[in-house]
Amino acid sequence: MRPRWTRTTKIIIVVLALVLTAYLLYRFSIIIPPLAIAVLLAYIITPLADFVSTRLRLSRKPAVAGIYLVLVALLITAPLLFIPELLRQLGALSTELENFIASTRRLSQIVIIFGGVEVDLGVLIDSFTASAREGLQSFAAPTFNFLLNVVEFLVFGIVVIVVSFYLTKDGDKALAAFDRLVPPAYLDDARRLRGEINAVWAAYLRGQIILALVVALILTLAGFALGLRFALALGILGGLLEFIPSVGHGLWLVIALTVAFVEGSLWFPLQHWAFALIVLGTHVVFQQVDLNFLIPRIIGGHMRLHPLVVILGIVIGAAFAGVLGIALAAPTIATLRVFGRYIYAGLFDLDPFEHLAPVDAPTASHD
């Protein structure tokens, strides 16, 4: 009979495995973003593959292959349809924002005396412009470099498509293999945890994509109707910023107000400040529709995170994984909460599934 490992041996093996995993993640960190995106893409497409396979009575492999052929076709035709115009608007928008920041430096020679205290606007404006310019560069430069580097884009896209294709095709086999690794006594717990985590990511990721598309369409149409310059770029930017809960609306509003104040309306002969007020009022109305109608119905209440927790998660996610960390901060925190609840219940001999939060209340993460 094979001798059992001692407790010390088990601890040493676990520690060595964790250290090796951490080293491999650090050493090959360059492959983490495409693999993460491939996993997310497979997760999003899997329900569609199941639906197509069931409705058309196809086996899983041809159903998945058909979906990915359509996806590749869209990726090939999309650049020819609207991406050149989008890049043109993004470039012009970046230039306008830079010019606006530069124009504020004209006030740098003004000194305000209030109650015997001198306030040097130059110091404040220099600090603001430096921070704003750095933020613009950090936002725009990686995006444009990525889009303009065709070779890197193609390699990245091929890796994502191929890996996600096999993950989608063999997803059921992967889950079955995982279940075989779980000790029988914990198999029910593992499946229930997987169900909770799946509910979180399904609600956020799939729902967020639908929400981003709806928001991008609404903001683009509203911007075009008002005569807001760069309506397409700002609309798509607004959809992407929906992935940043709690602060995305504020970021979009600052950029849109800057464009409105500098450029004015393309259709209406209004003072620039008056047009900026109209944009502000339109955004206030849209924000209420978004928070009280779109988000509760599209995403639901699976996040249930305090805005402060989400903001801290965004900061940490940005430090560790950049834009991808920002977008995935909220569902990652919600997933850690599921594991934390289970570990806490195990430490104190409680039922980890006794007090699960209801899932039909509106989310608080976008407040």
Q: Is residue 253 part of a domain?
A: yes
Which residues are paired to 117 by β-bridges? Answer: 114
CA–CA distance, 205 with 189 (Å, rounded to integer): 24
**Domain count across the chain:** 1
Q: Of 91 and 62, which is predicted with more confidence?
A: 62
User: Could you tell me if residue 33 is inside a domain?
Assistant: no
Rounded Cα distance between 249 and 310, Å, is: 14
| CB contact at 8 A, 344 and 334 | no
Q: Which of the four pLDDT bands, split at 50, 70 and 90, describes residue 177?
A: confident
Would 34 be classed as within a structural domain? Answer: no
Poorest-pLDDT segment among 50-59, 162-171, 313-322: 313-322
Judge whether 11 lies within some domain: no
Q: Which pLDDT score is estimated for 98?
A: 65
Q: Is the dihedral of CA 35, 39, 40, 45 positive or negative?
A: positive
Q: How far apart are CA 248 and CA 242, in angstroms?
A: 6
How many residues appear in the chain? Answer: 367
Task: Give the position of tokens 């995935």.
Answer: 328
Q: How far apart are CA 364 and CA 367, in angstroms?
A: 6
- Residue 276 domain-assigned (yes or no): yes
**Residue 258 placed within a domain:** yes
pTM to 2 decimal places: 0.62
Q: DSSP code of 30? A: G
CA–CA dist 281, 260 (Å, integer) = 12
Least-confidence region, from 60-74, 146-160, 317-331: 146-160
| Per-residue pLDDT, 60 | 83
* Residue, of 103 and 224, whose pLDDT is higher: 224
pLDDT in tens, 242-278: 877 667 788 888 888 888 888 888 888 888 889 989 9
DSSP state letters, 308-326: HHHHHHHHHHHHHHHHHHH
Locate 133 and state its tokens.
Answer: 């310019």
- Asked if the structure places residue 239 within a domain, the reply is yes
Looking at the domain assignment, is residue 334 inside a domain?
Answer: yes
3-state secondary structure 284-310: HHHHHHHHHHHHHHHCCCCCCCCHHHH
Domain membership of residue 344 as a residue range: 188-367
State the pLDDT at residue 142: 46
Amino acid, single-letter form, for residue 187? L
